[in-house]
Amino acid sequence: MTISKMLLGAASLALVAGVAQANSHMAETSDKRIALSNNYAGNSWRQAMLQTFKETGEEAVSDGMVAAADAYTTSENQATEQAAQIQNMILQGYDAIVLNAASPTALNGAVKEACDAGVTVVSFDGIVTEPCAWRIAVDFAAMGKEQVDYLATRLPEGGNLLEIRGLAGVFVDDEISKGIHEGVAENDQFEIVGSVHGDWAQDVAQKAVAGILPSLPQVVGVVTQGGDGYGTAQAFKAAGRDTPLIVLGNRQDELQWWADQRDASDYETLSLSIAPGVASLAFWVAQQILAGEDVPKDLTVPFLKITQDSLDDALASTPEGSVANVSYALDDAKQVIADAK
């Protein structure tokens, strides 16, 4: 054997060792199985969330990072049904459950069962309060308050507001509404004169707003939760009422409507929501916990905000029928974890 071949062989071994070392995290979780437990799929945000989880999971499986990444959605938005789904995942031997919960408290028993069985539980968006679980959320209360603070800059005289709420019983709905009411308490030139549940879906919101509008005085602003702004605008139009300042929630139909109104009448507003890609972040956080990483129990991500200046770019990058999104890679998850320490 020539010296050059020996050196080449040694270099190859060193390279293989280096790759093995770099992939040590991969090896630790390559046999692990992660499941998504989701309580609701009836709007564009949830569809985008499920799609992001699917894409992230499939890529991680094909890269050998994990053995499986399976998504399950309950047929009804019922905590009892989701608890049974979680118990089923424990029986199926999943190593981690990534959870978008129907209730912050009603699933705690099932979550505790999972933890006791050695299953890692990472809740996101609709988070749970059970201490053994991890939580990933935006500051939803701040998101609600920011809507009212924005309206105060645009409508300093104040006036009547209509509040569109989300899916009843879910952490997200309670928190955004809490923030909105805090904002109104600080900006008392505004008064909430009506409140309906739009379930974060345009058709539900349109019907609910159409039902309450005849009983309402003039409304200057609408505070929302996302997935309800376009339906709200349609209801006002159908009722022959002036279009109020509607805060939007990053859905493509809302952004398109906004752009059309801007072009027609210089309409200006704000749009903000949690990115559905938070599901990919939850997936990678679960993978990192399974890999032995020390991860703080509470992680916060910024909400995705679209302004008049960024509207065209956001609209161009959002597929029709979907929602403005940001997907998180493994390195993003590592950064979020590091920032929380």
pLDDT 10s digits, 285-297: 999 999 999 999 9
Confirm whether 37 is domain-assigned: yes
pLDDT of the residue at 173? 96
pLDDT of the residue at 285? 98
Is 80 exceeded by the pLDDT of residue 103?
A: yes
In the predicted model, what is the mean pLDDT of residues 90-99? 98
Q: How many domains are there within the chain?
A: 2
Confirm whether 42 is domain-assigned: yes
Copy the structure tokens of residue 29. Answer: 């979780």
What is the DSSP code (8-state) at residue 107? T
Alpha-carbon distance of 176 to 268, in angstroms, equals 22
- CA-closest candidate to residue 45, choices 224, 219, 211: 224
128 and 149 co-located in one domain: no
pLDDT exceeding 90 applies to what percent of the chain?
Answer: 90
pLDDT of the residue at 226? 92
In the predicted model, what is the mean pLDDT of residues 303-329? 96
Strands 298-300 and 96-100: unpaired
153 and 208 co-located in one domain: yes
Confirm whether 195 is domain-assigned: yes
What is the DSSP code (8-state) at residue 214? G
Q: What length is written for the chain?
A: 341
112 and 153 co-located in one domain: no
Confirm whether 9 is domain-assigned: yes
144 and 99 co-located in one domain: no
pLDDT of the residue at 37? 98
pLDDT of the residue at 330? 97
Confidence of residue 20 (pLDDT cuts 50, 70, 90): very low
62 and 125 co-located in one domain: yes
In the predicted model, what is the mean pLDDT of residues 248-270? 97
Is 70 exceeded by the pLDDT of residue 58?
A: yes
Q: CATH number, domain at 51?
A: 3.40.50.2300
36 and 101 co-located in one domain: yes
In the predicted model, what is the mean pLDDT of residues 96-102? 97
Confirm whether 226 is domain-assigned: yes
C-alpha 133: how far from its chain's center? 17
CB 171 within 8 A of CB 99: no
Confirm whether 318 is domain-assigned: no
Instruction: Calculate the average pLDDT of the chain.
Output: 92
In the predicted model, what is the mean pLDDT of residues 79-89? 97
Confidence of residue 13 (pLDDT cuts 50, 70, 90): very low
Provide the terminal-to-terminal Cα distance of the chain, rounded to the nearest Å: 53
Domain that holds residue 209: 140-273
In the predicted model, what is the mean pLDDT of residues 277-285? 97
- CB-facing half-sphere around the CA of 68: CA atoms within 13 A: 14
237 and 291 co-located in one domain: no
- Higher-confidence residue of 243 and 25: namely 243
pLDDT of the residue at 64? 95
pLDDT of the residue at 12? 42
247 and 221 co-located in one domain: yes
108 and 172 co-located in one domain: no
Confirm whether 307 is domain-assigned: no
Confirm whether 319 is domain-assigned: no
263 and 283 co-located in one domain: no
pLDDT of the residue at 40? 93
pLDDT (tens digit per residue) in 232-250: 999 999 999 999 999 999 9
Is 90 exceeded by the pLDDT of residue 34?
A: yes
104 and 175 co-located in one domain: no
pLDDT of the residue at 269? 98
Q: Please, which residues have CB within 8 angstroms of residue 12's CB and are 6 or more apart in sequence?
A: none
Is 70 exceeded by the pLDDT of residue 7?
A: no
248 and 282 co-located in one domain: no
